[in-house]
Structure 1
Amino acid sequence: MAATEHDAALGPEPGVPAYRDAVPGYEPAVSGFGTGQAPSGPGVPGSESGGDGSDAHDGYDGYDGYDDAAEPTPTRGGGRRAARSRTKRRRIPGWLEILGYVVISLTLTSIIKTFLIQMYYIPSPSMEPTTYKGDRVFVDKLSHWVGGAPARGQVIVFHDPHNWMLSTGGGSGGAFNLPDLLAAVGILPDQHDDLLIKRIIGVEGDTIECKSADGPLFRNGAALDESAYIMNGKTGRPCANGVYKVIVPPGNLWVLGDNRERSGDSSYNYLKKGGDAGFVPTKNVVGHVVGVVSWLRDDHPAGS
């Protein structure tokens, strides 16, 4: 509060030092402390002092010392909380997030089983000892999709070409049910009745011949040694279904089961029906087997 003329006339209260004495080195012409003016004078950067004590304009024009109306310091954490509240996004409900993960997982599984690899269930003993009833096999589909031609010796899964399952006492399929739905998305192995598994013995142009029931089987005039994969090995019967001689037509395959005596394969259906009943169109091929899972079957020591 400014002093009145009466107070100024009286001077400072006895015992209280004058203002100039309370601040050591106080120089009104040098220091602007408490005057509301910027410092000036010799030695002050940016100051040009005139001979009459007036100051030249040097960027401090209007400077009024410390700002008494400075912004108040925000409370601890208040600024951060306010910022977070402004940028906070709406959280997705937990059930919707879980549903999204399930849909994405099923979509990826379906893509993999459709174009890459799929598991199938073996329902019969026709391919023993390569696979047994109850085994699961992994089938490579990618090679088929990119144009890979089926090769001799491959074990393939294919769609029934000429009602083979009906002629051998198999089922014709039924209504679409939950297991079919789970198999369709790749959770369960495919168990459709129109899918068969056999070994490729001849491709288009090959001549396949059985001269006696005990074998051996001939391909293009050369006897095949099939002891590595047929039932009973060297004592097995490669031509158990009978005597025949065929030439595989273009775009077709000749396939046989490794357990020749219990397989409704190309030789069985050809001898039973004649014509093209024993040939499998290459377009019916789903893929070739790349792995066998045996421990899931009931009669396996590791099975349930």
Structure 2
Amino acid sequence: GEVSESATETATGTTETSKPKAKRGPTRVAMSFADGITSQEVLDWIDAATGQMLNPPTDFMGLVWPIGRALDDEPDPQVFDGDPFMEHSDVLGDDELDEVAAYFRNWQAGLEGCDPEDARGFDEGAARVERWIKGGANVATAPDPCFESRSAIVAWSTDQNKQTAKQVFFHESYHGLSNYLLRQCSPVLGRQEDSMNDLRWFAEGTADYFGVYMAAKDDGRDDYVQTMLKRAYLDLRGDPGMPLEANTYVQAAAMVLMIERGMITEEQILNGSYFNSCDWINTFDPDAPGMDYIFENFNKIEVSGGSYSYSEATIAG
């Protein structure tokens, strides 16, 4: 069943005129419908992820459910109302799929920190999530009903091992725990979200760095940088001309290079503080000072004696 931790504090007003405003404690809830990952494990992952953050949201929910194998090699946007997911075979029965969808819908409906304007989008949001769940979508995403209430939801497919599922869950949790992503920065900066798509490399690179780091930490391992560089190295060997926009493997490797060059710090990735405001939109724009070097050199990963690294020359560059 569901596991949760909640704490509630109430501040009382002292005079008639100051209305008592209840200060809510944080809520953390989690549910897994998958054999092999317990709800308690998902809650532990959430606690670990939120515990890293400088400024975590008040509410966070984690949801994991199993899906089978992909029915074909192509995305099926017609099944998912335009969302580019692939249909997978079912692992759960219809009643169980109803339960998964209801879990998200009920969690969202019970949120206390969202204003009426946010709540107007709840039905549509829950219907979209339900479409993914019932259609067997290979979805891993971070629904954000409102600023203070975030989540990470992951469909765990048969062809993924648990380690991968855990990395993916931490990656999505990072998006959920990032206060200001493109959607939140759009009204702040007065820019269309689509006009900032070339910033996704940084949001994805940081999230994947966090995902690999946290999964390793959860296992008591410290080989996370090697994991990131090796994945990117092997991908680049298959496609040496791959651009930085290509995928999260090379984007996470770019974070390693930026840390080595002193452009960013690991601490600020891990505590989510790059996303405590919208400054990152300008700082990490591909046209911003110093970014061209990363876009041109992220692919210069070397291997020696089974160890992956950027050379001193590349770091100094």
Is TM (by shorter chain) over 0.5?
Answer: no
**Greater relative CO, 1 or 2 (CA 8 Å, sep 6+):** 1
Which structure carries more helix by proportion?
2
TM-score of the aligned structures, taking structure 2 as reference length: 0.23
TM-score of the aligned structures, taking structure 1 as reference length: 0.23
